[in-house]
Amino acid sequence: MQPGLIYGPGDTSGVRTLLLQYLQRKLPMVPSGVAYCWAHVADEARGHILAMEKGRAGRTYMLAGPVHTLVDALQIAEGITGIPAPNIHLPPGIFKGAAALMRLAETMITLPPAASSESLQVLAGVTYLGHAARAREELGWHTQSLRDGLTETLRHEMRLLGMTPKC
C-alpha cells in the first residue's frame, strides 16, 4: 500500500500542525510549488481493508487522493472556514537556497525538524503524486473530495481549539 498525504481528525502529523497554524492565523506564507495527493484517513483505512480482502499478492496499490497544491488546499479551507488563506506564496528557489544554507548549519548545530535542510528541500516544490487507477479498478477504492474531507477535519480541529465552526 502506498498512501497519499493522509489527513483527517486525529492526525498528529505535520499536516495537522499546518492546519492548526492556518486556523490560528499563524501561517503568514506557504510554498507555491508543493502538491500532494490528499487522502482522508478514513478512506486510507478503507483502502487497506479492501487490499486485504481483494488485493492480489505482489501488487502495489496507490491510495492517492485528488491532487491539490498546498496553496489550493488552503484556499479551499478559506472557503470552508472564512479564515483567510495566506496570500504570500514563496517560490521554490527561496526554499532551495535556505535548504543549502541549513545543510551547512547542520554540520555545526542541531536544528529543529521544520528548519532542517530536508524539510526545506521538500518545501522547495517536491511533489508526491501518484495515480490510484489500480486501487479503483481492482479494489473498488475511492476517496472523498478534499473539500468534504477538509470540512470534517477543520470542524474537528476548530472544536478542539474552542473555536465555533462556521463550516
Q: Mean of the per-residue pLDDT values for the chain?
A: 92
Among the listed ranges 21-25, 63-67, 90-94, which one has the minimum average pLDDT value?
Answer: 90-94
Read off the pLDDT of each residue in 75-102 and give the average, rounded to a whole number: 93
- Report phi then psi at 19, rounded to 5: -65, -40
Residues contacting residue 53 through CB under 8 Å, at least 6 positions apart: none
- pLDDT grade for 167, boundaries at 50, 70 and 90: low
Strand (E) positions, 17-135?
29-31, 35-40, 62-63, 67-69, 88-90, 127-128
Reported as a single tens digit per residue, the pLDDT across 133-146 is 999 999 999 999 99
116 closest CA partner among 99, 104, 128: 99
Model pLDDT for residues 32-77, shown as the tens digit of each residue: 989 999 999 999 999 999 999 999 999 999 999 999 999 999 999 9
pTM comes to 0.87
Indicate the pLDDT class of residue 122, thresholds 50, 70 and 90.
confident
Question: In the chain, what are the domains?
Answer: 2-89+127-160 (3.40.50.720)
Estimate the crossing angle of helix 146-160 against helix 14-23, to 10 degrees: 70
Report residue 152: phi and psi, to 5°. -60, -45
Kindly tell me if the per-residue pLDDT of 125 is higher than 80.
Answer: no
Classified as helix, coil or strand, 59 is: coil
Q: How far apart are alpha carbons 83 and 3 in whole angstroms? A: 29
Q: What is the Cα–Cα distance from 120 to 41, expressed in whole angstroms?
A: 25
Helix (H, G, I), strand (E, B) or coil at 147: helix
> How far apart (Å, rounded) are the C-alpha atoms in residues 50 and 44?
10
Mean pLDDT of 9-23: 94
In this prediction, residue 151 has a pLDDT band, given cuts at 50, 70 and 90, of very high
Instruction: Please list the residues that pair with 36 across neighbouring strands.
Output: 68, 128
Q: Output the pLDDT for position 145.
A: 97
- Please give the residue that has the higher pLDDT: either 76 or 114: 76
